[in-house]
Amino acid sequence: MLSGNWNPEEVKGWLQAVKDPEIPVLTIQDLGVLRSIEALSDGGIRVTITPTYSGCPAMNTISADIRRLLLSKGIPTVEVIESLSPAWTTDWLSAEAHEKLEAFGIAPPQSGSADKTALFSAAVPVPCPHCKSKKTELVSQFGSTACKALYRCRSCSEPFDYFKCLR
């Protein structure tokens, strides 16, 4: 590939291969983590990502994956920068991401949850991703990772992770 011979749509297509290491069904585009793709003057690419929450260790993996992938496609230089403002929110998750999360057994964040504190008091019912029952209970604020809370379904008694709204 010649330097600078790429277009943003093509690059977005390549970046579909970069997944959240914690939730491998979600691409960084599903997550809303991928913010922009810009050309550098030498034909390279600057990729801007916004971390899902500050200090999320997955971000190091994601930025290394982006760099490795684009270099392997012949991009001469790759810059990955983190943009912290505006802050990522679960509202940036795509509709597809919600479906993928549920299929993966993780309850997606409940929409319309402007009042994020409500999520922690369990005032918003979190439907079970397995049987859709709303009879669920919070077991722990922290699930398999800090980004998720652990719930249990009282209908099918399966435990599940809830992708909580937090950064």
For the bound state, the minimum distance from the C-beta of residue 69 to Zn ion, rounded and expressed in Å, comes to 37
**Residues forming the site for Zn ion (CB under 5 A):** 128, 130-131, 133, 153, 155-156
For the bound state, the minimum distance from the C-beta of residue 144 to Zn ion, rounded and expressed in Å, comes to 18
Bridge-based pairing of strands 78-82 and 45-49 is parallel
CA distances from 75 to 5, 10, 48, 82, 141 (A): 9, 12, 16, 20, 42
DSSP string covering 18-49, please? -B-SSSTT-BHHHHT-EEEEEE-TTS-EEEEE
Contact 46, 38 (CB under 8 A): yes
- In angstroms, what is the C-alpha Rg of the chain? 18
For the bound state, the minimum distance from the C-beta of residue 152 to Zn ion, rounded and expressed in Å, comes to 9
Compare residues 62 and 128 and give the one whose CB is closer to Zn ion: 128
AA identity, residue 121: S
Compare residues 69 and 150 and give the one whose CB is closer to Zn ion: 150
For the bound state, the minimum distance from the C-beta of residue 104 to Zn ion, rounded and expressed in Å, comes to 15
Compare residues 61 and 133 and give the one whose CB is closer to Zn ion: 133
Compare residues 44 and 129 and give the one whose CB is closer to Zn ion: 129
